Every structure is written in C-alpha cells, then in structure tokens.
Structure 1
Amino acid sequence: MLRLFSAYFVLTCSTIQANGNVIRICGFAPVSKYFIKNQGGVSLAPLLNLCHDKAYGMNVVDYIDRDERLGNVFKDSMKEFNLIFKKEIMEIYTSLEGLRALVDVGGGDGTIPNYDLPSVVEKSPSHPGIEHIAGDMFVRIPKGDAIFMKTMEK
C-alpha cells in the first residue's frame, strides 16, 4: 500500500542504510494534507467512506464488525502486518529498551502487547511479561512509560 500511495504521490518514500539494513522511510506528500485533519479539525477523508456507506449503510469499520467473514479476513491481514511491523520496530527503535510499561493502544490480535476492546483481549495469546488490558481507547488510555499507536480508526 505504501508503494502504491507513493506511486500516486500521496506519500513520499526514500531509503536509508542502518546497521547494514535498508530501511524505507515514508512520509506525507503535499496532497496528503487533504486526508489528514487540519488545524480546524477538517479533512476530506470522510469522503472516502461515501461509496461504502451508500452501498452498505455503514462505514467500513462497522461493516467489518458485523460481517464475520470480512472480520476474519481483516484480523488475519492485521496479524500478518503486525508480525512484520513488530520485527521492524524492535530492530530500529532502541529507545524502547528499559521501558517497564509500553501501552500499545489498539493492538489488534494481541501479537503486539495491547490495550484493546474486550472482544480482542479475550482472544489474545499470552506472552511472558505482557499484560493484555481490555478497554476502549476512546474512553480511557491506561498509564505507561510510553504509549504506542500504529493505526487508529473510529
């Protein structure tokens, strides 16, 4: 997806060398400003939901919650993405060393330490040293030494 958005100049993409590895760095291209809330809290991103809302009577996130098959496809997609993402994060960000409590808000399926909805936490696999906490990030986020947010959607 990042390469696709880069090809259409929605994102910028470059590479750097770090510890003998090539790391791809993506950023926002000028057109991205239309899809990110500005200082007034306005964006054109809701327009992207129009077609889905017209066809199904709800936004994509709500549809994923209601359609079990699509929900499973989405969860499997996030699980695979998180496995790749987690490895990259741990290799690159040495600033995470020494943290006693890292709160991953919206951790998905629990492959990354998480604070997520009760329905996700109850299915999360256990990992030594990781406490899964059920809750709603739009209501309250627990305290920690650092808070990690990868992808948020409401």
Structure 2
Amino acid sequence: MNDELKKKLEELKNINKVKNKNEERENNILLKECLEALHNDGFILDNEEELSVYNDFKEMLIFTPWGIDWGERRKIKDIKHIKFESQLKEICSKDNYYIIWGKGLPIIRCSLNSIINNLDDIKAVEADTWLFSTDYNEIIEFHHEGRITCGQIIF
C-alpha cells in the first residue's frame, strides 16, 4: 500500500473513531440527563481541549487500577476524606472544575455550585467521578465504593 493510501486510511479511521465516540455519547441516557440537569452551566470541552485536560490529569496524578493513589505524597498534599457531599463547599477553594469520568466520556467545565446542586446526576454517569480544578490545583475523587477524597496537587 502506498503512502497516500495509508494516509487516507488513517484519516478514515480517525473520522470513524470520532463518529463512534459521538454516537456513544448521544446514546448515553445518564450523560444526557446530567447535561440537562446542568443546563447552561456545564460546558463540554471541544476535542482538542478535552484531550489536553485529560492528558494533564493523567500525568499530574498517579493512578492505581481502583482510582487515584492517595498515598503518593509527592503528587498530593492536604488530603481530606469527607463523609458528606455537603462538606464540599467548606473544603473546596476553587469556583470552577472539570468533571472527568472515564475515557470516552466528555469532560465538562462547570461551577462548583452547579456541581453541588446536581451531584447525583453527575455521579450517576459513571462509578468513578473526579473534579479537577480548572487551575489544576485541586482534585476530588468520588470513588465507586462511596468514598470522597480531596487534595491539593503538588506541581
């Protein structure tokens, strides 16, 4: 196969990948309900910004198969385990966060107030949910076992 055909095939694969990703998102009822609940306060990142934020998120933290490695003190400080979601307003110092689920789901930029008001819809989208401050300083993990952990990211 010549280089031109290889290039065209690669372009078609990428177009198909984006199309499949968009179809999956459109068919995800829980995601649709979450976006409706957030109204105009939740902004889905475009593909380029989404990839950038997701890569930074994965590079700045250390992950285990079950979530963030909170024992890794070189990456996170001031770790707090909270029992009630209502404590988020007291603990969080930032106004805007990225809502991050697993790969394949969109990343949404949203205000903390809107997140707190719609947390059940947000957490319903996927078992593990993370809030990553837009200045990359804070991380909050809603673990699939019900734990809520917050921390300051060390640069």
Question: Relative to total residues, which structure has the larger helix share, 1 or 2?
Answer: 2
* Band of TM-score, shorter chain: under 0.3
Q: TM-score of the superposition, structure 2-length normalised?
A: 0.27
Higher relative contact order (CA 8 A, sep 6+): 2
Q: TM-score of the superposition, structure 1-length normalised?
A: 0.27
Question: Relative to total residues, which structure has the larger strand share, 1 or 2?
Answer: 2
